Amino acid sequence: MRVAVITETFLPKVDGIVKVACLLLDHLSRRGIEALVIAPRYGSRTNYNDVPIHSLPSLSLPLYPEARLGFATLSLYRDLAAFQPDVAHLFHPVMTGIPTMAMLKWMDVPTVTSFHLDYAQLVEQFRLGALDLGFTRPLINELTKNIFNWADYSLAPSRPVQRRMQRLGIKNVGLWRRGVDADAFSPKFRSMAMREEMTGGNPEDTILLYVGRLSDEKQIEHIGPILEQLPNTRLAIVGDGPARPWLEREFAGLPATFMGYLRGGRLSRAYASADIFVFPSRLETFGLVVVEAMAAGLPVVASRVGGVGDIISDGVNGYTFETGDSAALLEGVRKIASSQEMMRWMGEQARAYAEGQSWDTVMDEVIEVYAELIAERRPEAVAV
């Protein structure tokens, strides 16, 4: 089996989409499946491990310079034809994915799309496009429906997103759940030295943790009142992004530490060394960092977006709240932090849930989707 993976964003950019794409590529490699990555050019990288990358000419976005728009070229078609994919997986096709899908259709290659960004909400968030957002949202939704229906099969990251896609009129929508590496993210990595670093030398305080991109839609500023109202509470912010300078001013004078991007063992230790994970985002399709925090043994207080409602049981492994409800965010943290015993028990419940969410199982389900589509088109090509 040969799989072409087409994504609108890739390394060295770091975000949830890139992380899932890399996990998929790692899994395909372990299963002996040959892959090709097609992505906008971010640098000079030509391979991801043993997987070749076809980098497309690209331009950065004015309002989001970390992201780039890739443009398909004739050389892409030549590389696709040389690779001869049995199936193609397009990560939320837009500038890179749509013309590439046209090429794949011309080559009679079965296609899978996966939903990763709600562009209608994103446009409203950044106030882009037509001034009449009542007109813009239906237009984007119609385009999304048509693009995803052009593919042979679509995948949603959570049941709420699956239902939303179906309401838009997208057909053949399956579920591509998110997993977690419960060995890489585990309470065993708890470190007093990391607690010292995360708190500026106050490891005995209750440590709230946020991990993710620093941008407006994450609403990280909503955590500020917690630090003002709950004594002996501190915040560690892991990640980077365009909102960092503004957030540093917003949290000036508050017990908050900006850790920047963390990877590997340092990220694992940061998760495990905190006490409560907080995630007030108003725009997510899943929220992969929530499951990573749970694997590290942290109870979670998160807005009810993306897949959060699928994984958090209120009062058991955390609390959820309607996006923008800062009072409910504060109350959720207060309930957990009020008792060391409660915090410990809820953390154990979070870990127990995460231990049942294996990436291997999740990725094997995607490979089964590939195999079924190939079998419908070319039964002789299914062998892995």
Q: Looking at residue 127, what is its pLDDT?
A: 52
pLDDT of amino acid 210? 98
Distance CA 219, CA 232 (A): 22
DSSP 215-240: SGGG-GGGGHHHHHHSTTEEEEEE--
Q: How many CB atoms lie within 10 A of CB 165?
A: 20
Stretches in the chain below the pLDDT threshold 70: 61-67, 119-135, 285-286, 379-384
Tell whether the torsion through CA atoms of 344, 347, 351 and 352 is positive or negative.
positive
Global pTM reads 0.78
State the CATH architecture for 187-355: 3-Layer(aba) Sandwich (3.40)
| H or E, element range at 154 | strand 153-156
Domain boundaries, the chain: 2-179+358-381, 187-355
Q: Each residue of 120-147: pLDDT tens digit? A: 565 555 554 444 455 677 888 899 999 9
- From 171, 160, 53, select the one nearest 113 (Cα to Cα): 171
Is 356 buried (19+), middle (13-18) or exposed (0-12) by CB count in 10 A?
A: exposed
What homologous superfamily does CATH list for 2-179+358-381?
A: Glycogen Phosphorylase B; (3.40.50.2000)
Lookup: tokens for 44: 């000079």
Would you call the peptide bond into 187 cis, given omega within 30 degrees of 0 as the criterion?
no
The reported pLDDT for the residue numbered 129 is: 44
Q: Cα–chain-centroid distance for residue 207?
A: 23
Inter-CA distances, 185 with 93, 232, 345, 361, 369, Å: 30, 26, 18, 17, 28
